[in-house]
Structure 1
């Protein structure tokens, strides 16, 4: 069992402690990242479907994540966070196998896309177990006052994987087609499982007292709502930026998402301590304004450079909105319930993705791809209202205590 040391008080030690968990998330999420820029092209060009089906295929992963999120949190609490991550990686490999089956049936587009949807759904469940288990694992390895760093750095590994996955996935797709993406999705999780066998686990809490779903939801719903609204901007870039760049004849098509991910990583590297130091809601309020400005810039862009700068602003802003609101969600929770708390909190992101992707696709099919980014910007901006409500609630609680 890992023992916390006095060195946990330093930011560098926290990062060093979390490095094995971050590495597992990094490699595990590359299999998601490689598909992001090319999946819309595969569905549209290879299978012949429109933007609504593109949004549906993208959203299937997040709908499945939503359904499995609370389950994954409870599993990590009761069976151990490491076992949660392992279960997620096994499911990810299964999704890669279904990708391969869908390719073999590409001559029957409806059947092929149905199997692809199933694979995306299983990958959504895998993602749920991987990220929920990893956050619970990280929270168990360091002291509670570093909760913001845990959420930020584990998330950084996720976005680094997706930023790296963009160019890698595009390169593989252009050279070998979607089959290369399917093979990577099948094989890479199996390699990560070998690596995880040498990593330390943390104690499970199979018999500890559990908070009820209702009590956790009461504490989490407001920061979760803010996370859902802010994550709509992430959803917009995730599902539609490659199609937008392709329609505008901008190259490379993965640049928006990579700019988003790189800016997010830089922001969390230099400013990841801010939510722990100044309060999650306050930092979320400041950074969501930056994120919204970036989304508006993409909407107004007439060149790929301006659009990519907008994506970078959006990533820089979103970088601390999610962990900032996450601190608000996890405040007051006990160690044996952190998996469930983070599972429910992250489920709000899944709601945004599951509903947002098809809804934005519908908007794009009726008003054009450009309208998708205006809609995303307006939804992101509304997160500021939630952050203000959280600040007001905190001030009211402090007055009661005084």
Structure 2
């Protein structure tokens, strides 16, 4: 039996849609055995430093009563852009003299790095709570400065203006969707075709761009079916990020806290969970997007062998006829002998993997052909795929 010390994500193929920190996320998954494909769905474009500094000088000259900070990245990039122009002290005075509202813990941490403690923290990481609170307190004639992230929140600005506020906005950077780019469209097709075990998202705009690519390729129904059949994991760093997926009818899993480390842990738990594996006499069998593993050790299989094993594993312990196996094999053969040859090759691949793990252990017998074993079942080498005489084949699972 395999020793069980292989990486938990061995054999898994995961799509990472993030650009910012996508490398960190991918490295963490690769360290645990996954194959990671990067297809960023957004590009980040910085605002012109000259324009941002000019608008910052205007804000310093007419200090706001309230500052709403949407993202940590906005704070960091704003500070980096205005600092070389000598505007740092003015920005600090602007912030310390205003009522500062931070959308979430990351925005708060970025402010605290500047020496500013926010007056209010939105735990849900949405701007809706900020708008509700400010409108309840009253913003008539108040000057409100909104420091936006990559996506400008027009609804927040509109709500505050409707309440009588004078709203100014700064946007140090903006997201540009890449859903029409070949790598993203190719990844969308591959997702629908079952070539990924999981797709990961770190922002709502990124999730929206990925959905547009899927829709552009006409593959949303296929992706939804794979999610519903638990053949594909969609994982988002938080509830806000998952919203576009939910609106499209796609179930996305989220960790308890919006941290990349917790997102990685969620993927480990979902893809490595023993409940989703088949217990065999040689270990836990897992079906991955491009291979199978026994106790997390990949088993090299041809496309035909993988197709056969997927069909057998869909009804473990139940007989599958040669005709049914023919239907899932690549090609259009109607010859039952083709199924027998493919099963023999599958068995040989499984035997090779088992011999490697057992350090040259003994083969378990012959195919059996027309020789009936007990109850008409003939054990094959390794005992994973067994012949049921004159009926077909069965995947032996406990």
TM-score by structure 2 length?
0.22
Greater strand share, 1 or 2? 2
Compare the two structures and name the one with the higher helix fraction. 1
If you compute each CA radius of gyration, which structure gives the higher value, 1 or 2? 2
